[in-house]
Structure 1
């Protein structure tokens, strides 16, 4: 007997009405509505709603223990081996090559992920909706949709984000970085979609000039 996917989502949040697939997901989701912050950092005292958010925050305090420095980009690493592998990114060294297309990679793990482009393999499955992903990090990012978790925490202001890419964009509000630059004027933007929207203003101006 076939079951509709929606039949699995029977756990409703009494606050916002969101439907979750199991009791654990519902419990984690309810924490987003609560003001209680039960998980405290033993180093600085900051408190968080989710244990996963606390674990991510604690990495901020661990960064000082990284003693192996890349003298090109100033990134720090835990071991000389990690630094050695990282240095390949700054060179042409790509020791792990795809047998099907010849593309090279700095680590065997990256090669393994790449081969899935050829095979179509997507081994990481979402237990809530069944979607499959080629990389675990993509599954982890997707799972935040179901759990409501925001494990990526800004070290400056404490803002929590559901995905690492969201945190990267947020950090630009502190750094002032605007990597997406307009080639037609001096405007620059924090996100690519903002630049695309801006470029339409040049297209409109160009059309207006053509009509004159």
Structure 2
């Protein structure tokens, strides 16, 4: 079947089809949420052993697949192939039949098509959130329910729920050191703790729910501020003035 291209085993929940029944069984775990393979360093779980192997490289920093055209290195061969197609060859063989979007991978096109159909097949079992992609659901669970933060900064004690957050944090820290980091908005606060609370709108940070019961919001906000803002923005200084922000209007409910 590999030579003929025949794919008799089809998923009954999406358009995935394969030549092997075992591959279909693995694929179905994406819909059921079954993840029997556990990481021994964090609470990550995978539906396939290969995904767990790739995940563990995030802890070790191992990136064995190097691009021969630039300094990029990947944790999986598939990621390297996608990198080359998107960055070097420009190859995007999968075309959307409803718009001019083209993808380097079939799964990217499937995810894109859900924008047209409105389909969101991945549902959170803890709330009413639904996602178009399994990765979106995983990110949601990490940030809203598990509070897992497996990505650690090597420059400070900052940790992130997503690798992209860590990259932005490190990049912001480097820009601050070079003096090139711009102000985020025109918001000004009458009190430092108001600014710390406001900064969470830019960073996306939310305190662990267990901290809600400390009855010491000043300490909670100070912890968040010190953990992210100082490390990332360095010289960002609060000022005594109006509390309007050009990104959003931040309501201050605390007594001054």
TM-score when normalising by structure 2: 0.45
In the alignment, is the contact (CA less than 8 A) between 1:94 and 1:105 conserved in 2? yes
1:75 maps to 2:68: no
Q: Which residue in 1 is equivalent to 2:184? A: 195
Q: Which residue in 2 is equivalent to 1:136? A: 134
| 2: CA distance, partners of 1:40 / 1:100 | 44
Three-state SS of the structure 2 residue aligned to 1:63 is coil
| Structure-2 change in CA distance of 1:89 and 1:40 (3 Å) | closer
Three-state SS of the structure 1 residue aligned to 2:148 is coil
Deviation at 1:129, TM superposition (A): 0.6
Where in structure 1 are there 5+ consecutive unaligned residues?
1-38, 42-49, 179-185, 202-212
Deviation at 1:92, TM superposition (A): 2.9
| Structure-2 change in CA distance of 1:156 and 1:120 (3 Å) | same
1:121 maps to 2:97: no
| Structure-2 change in CA distance of 1:120 and 1:40 (3 Å) | closer
Per-residue CA distance 1:38-83 (angstroms, 9 max, x = gap): x987xxxxxxxx444xx8675342515x1432423x1113666653
Aligned pairs for 1:92-171 within 5 A: 92-144=90-142, 145-157=144-156, 159-171=158-170
How many pairs does the alignment contain?
A: 140
The structure with higher relative contact order (CA 8 Å, sep 6+) is 1
Q: Which residue in 2 is equivalent to 1:87? A: 84
Per-residue CA distance 1:77-107 (angstroms, 9 max, x = gap): 3666653332111243210001111311111
| 2: CA distance, partners of 1:155 / 1:137 | 25
| Structure-2 change in CA distance of 1:154 and 1:115 (3 Å) | same
In the alignment, is the contact (CA less than 8 A) between 2:152 and 2:166 conserved in 1? yes
What's the Cα RMSD here? 3.6
